[in-house]
Amino acid sequence: MGFFRQVFVVAGKDLRAELRTKEAINASFAFALVILLLFSFAFDPQSDLTKAISGGLLWIVFAFAGTLILNRSFARELPNDCLDALVAAPLSGAALFLGKCCANFVLVLAVELVSLPVFGIFYDVKWTQQFWELMLVVVLGTWGLTIIGTIFSALTVNIRLREVMLPMLTYPILVPALMGAMQLTTDLVAGTPIGPESVTWLKMLIGFDIVYTAISLALVDTVLVG
Amino acid sequence: MSAVAVEGVWKFYGDYPALRDIRLEAEPGACLALIGRNGAGKTTLLRIIAGFSRPGRGQVRISGLEPRETETRRRIGFIGHGISVYDELSALENLTLFARLYGLADPARTAAEWLERTGLERVKNGLVREFSRGMRQRLAVARAFLHEPSVLLLDEPFTALDDRAIAVLQTLLRDALAAGKTIVMSTHQLREALELASHVALLTRGQVAFHGPRTPEMVADPGYVYARYGEG
């Protein structure tokens, strides 16, 4: 079976299992809504300051809510020792990892896309002004979050305090990607398209995704087989 | 060439050597019963043979190949302590998933055949989380066998099985041996294991205390190996 077919099979399995239980996606979406609501109490939606930090607020919500989904990624394999069966199967660690990344990406993106209109309402932000450019940033930022979160989900799967360890390991490494995504999102929801000043952030976001995808694919076999 | 060759394998957990210079071989068609007290290193050794864990020193060869090679993994069937099937998926979905991962030609047909062989065809669309323990175990057996592995690695395969699952597993193991496949199994169920075994290895504190052909004395008295070669 080809590499991408293996990726597709693993991603399909994870999505099917998650959609049957809806454990992670429901928790993640509820968490995103609660944080958006609480932040809207803390910041005046009409003030310029709120507009200036809106991208940051949004990506903090995405990062926190996304972690709930990413935590479940390899933890889902623990009951019944399912990870053993996947590691025993003749698929590469890279295909297994990429399959899980794809499933996580779809789930995290779904939560984000549902959260965006809520964000627009609570913070009085016209987030659709640069819709396609914003979608590009959301996709790139989400892929970075997913790659880092999934590799650390694999690394921490057998640790007792993995729910605590995953965000502690993930967020520091995500800083460059989050900075880029926050900066670009703030500009885009304010109606400013990506221009010569902000394109550097976009390049950094793309570079981050490429570099960490390559590093994760190279390391995943070592992570999975102790 | 040996089907399974363990050559001077050591495994350390920190400074503690869980396995010490293990040397074992199983020829094609052999059934090697790994016996030993709890903590002797049976599961650790089986996981290294299966490629789930790397040895600290030494090496394992499956038909001359590294355990982690893709071709080797196609040849290995593993049953561990867990059933290694997904509670959220149906029996048919589980087997179809693994048939796809093993690259079998017709995953759905293979899955249906194994559900029939293990007596689960009636509940093929039921979610595994709704299954009884015995049904889950039979599904685990089907999952391990469906790609027709030539080397079967079984960790405590008879533990907590119901009568029907034991019968299914024993039939499959006898068929596998008749077909020239190799079995390495760790077990505390000496009577069931020694009936099938052609060879026995006794592990004591991470070392091989005995390795040789099964003898009539062992079948007559399952405690014989422990009394003769173990720590009593």
- Residue ranges of domains in chain A: 3-224
B172-177's contacts with Cβ under 8 Å and 24+ in sequence apart are B172/B117, B172/B141, B172/B145, B173/B31, B176/B145, B176/B152, B177/B29, B177/B31
Closest residue, chain B, to A19 (C-alpha): B88
Residue A46 contacts B, CB cutoff 8 Å: no
- Looking at residue A171, its pLDDT comes to 94
Q: Which of B106, B112, B114 is nearest to B140 (CA)?
A: B114
Chain A CB contacts of B52 under 8 Å are 84, 87-88, 225-226
For residue B102, which residues of chain A lie inside 8 Å, CB to CB? Answer: 89-90
Judge contact between B218 and B198, C-beta under 8 A. Answer: no
pLDDT of residue B232: 56
A-B Cβ pairs (cutoff 8 Å, strict): 81
- Say yes or no to pLDDT of A94 above 90: yes
Across the range A75-103, mean pLDDT stands at: 93
pLDDT of residue B193: 83
Q: Least CA distance to A23: which residue of chain B?
A: B88
Longest dimension (CA), chain B: 51
Which pLDDT value is given to residue B202? 93
- Name the least confident of A80-84, A156-160, B184-188: A156-160
Q: Is A88 on the interface with B (CB under 8 A)?
A: yes
pLDDT of residue B11: 95
Q: Does B133 touch chain A (CB under 8 A)?
A: no
Q: Is A175 an interface residue toward B (CB < 8 Å)?
A: no
Residue B74 to residue A136: CA distance in whole angstroms: 40
In percent, how much of chain A has pLDDT > 90? 77
Measured in angstroms, the CA of A100 and the nearest CA of chain B are apart by 14
Of A220, A154, A82, A87, give the one whose Cα is nearest residue B76.
Answer: A87
> Tokens 């650790």 identify what position?
B44
pLDDT surpasses 60 at A194: yes
Residue B71: closest CA among chain A residues belongs to which residue? A90
Looking at the complex, does the CB of residue B97 fall below 8 Å from at least one CB of chain A? yes
Whether A24 has a pLDDT exceeding 60, the answer reads: yes
Q: Rounded to whole angstroms, how far apart are CA atoms B126 and B132?
A: 11
Count Cβ atoms below 10 Å from residue A117 Cβ, excluding itself.
11
Q: Which has more pLDDT, A1 or B43?
A: B43
**Enclosing H/E stretch for B123:** none
Residues of B in contact with A87 (CB under 8 A): 51-52
Q: What is the pLDDT along chain B (232 residues), one digit of tens a residue?
A: 899 999 999 999 998 999 999 999 999 999 999 999 888 999 999 999 999 999 999 999 999 999 999 999 999 999 988 899 999 999 999 999 999 999 999 999 999 999 999 999 999 999 999 998 889 989 999 999 999 999 999 998 888 777 877 888 888 899 999 999 999 999 888 887 888 899 999 999 999 999 999 988 888 887 888 888 876 5
* Residue B210 and residue B225 in contact, taking contact as beta carbons nearer than 8 Å: yes
CB within 8 Å: A88 and B78: yes
pLDDT at B231: 67
B223/chain A closest Cα distance in angstroms: 31
Q: What is the pLDDT of residue A163?
A: 84
Cα B104 to Cα B113: distance, rounded to the nearest angstrom: 13
In the predicted model, is pLDDT for residue A50 greater than 80?
yes
- Contact check, Cβ <8 Å, B83/A1: no
Q: Do A87 and B86 touch (CB under 8 A)?
A: no
Strand B199-204 and strand B207-213: the pairing is: antiparallel
Cβ of B101 within 8 Å of Cβ of A226? The answer is: no
Residue A15 with chain B: CB contacts under 8 Å: none
Chain B closest CA to A12's CA: distance in Å?
9
- Structural domains in chain B, CATH included, are 27-54+65-229 (3.40.50.300)
**pLDDT band for position A158 (cuts 50, 70, 90):** confident
For chain B, the distance separating the N- and C-terminal CA atoms, rounded to the nearest angstrom, is 35
A226 pLDDT higher than 80 = no
CB contact (8 A) between residue B100 and residue A81: no
Please state the pTM of the whole predicted model: 0.90
The three-state DSSP-derived secondary structure of B157-207 is: CCCCCCHHHHHHHHHHHHHHHHCCCEEEEECCCHHHHHHHCCEEEEEECCE
Three-state SS for B228? helix
Contacting residues for A204 by C-beta, under 8 A, at least 6 apart: A176, A177, A179, A180
Chain B residues within 8 A of A223 when measuring between CB atoms: none
Mean pLDDT of A65-73: 94
Model pLDDT, residue A52: 85
Q: Is B84–A80 a contact, with Cβ atoms under 8 angstroms apart?
A: yes
**In the predicted model, what is the mean pLDDT of chain A?**
93
| CA triple A36-A195-A55, angle to 5 deg | 10
Length of chain A: 226
**Rounded Cα–Cα distance for residues B91 and B136 (Å):** 9
- Would you call A6 an interface residue with chain B, using a CB distance cutoff of 8 Å? yes
Q: What is the DSSP string of A115-179?
A: HHHHHHHHTT--TTTTHHHHHHHHHHHHHHHHHHHHHHHHHTTT-TTHHHHHHHHHHHHHHHHHH
Among partner residues A16, A81, A90, which is closest to B80 by beta-carbon distance? A81
Establish if B100 touches chain A: CB-CB under 8 angstroms: yes
Contacts of B98 in chain A (CB under 8 A): 85, 89
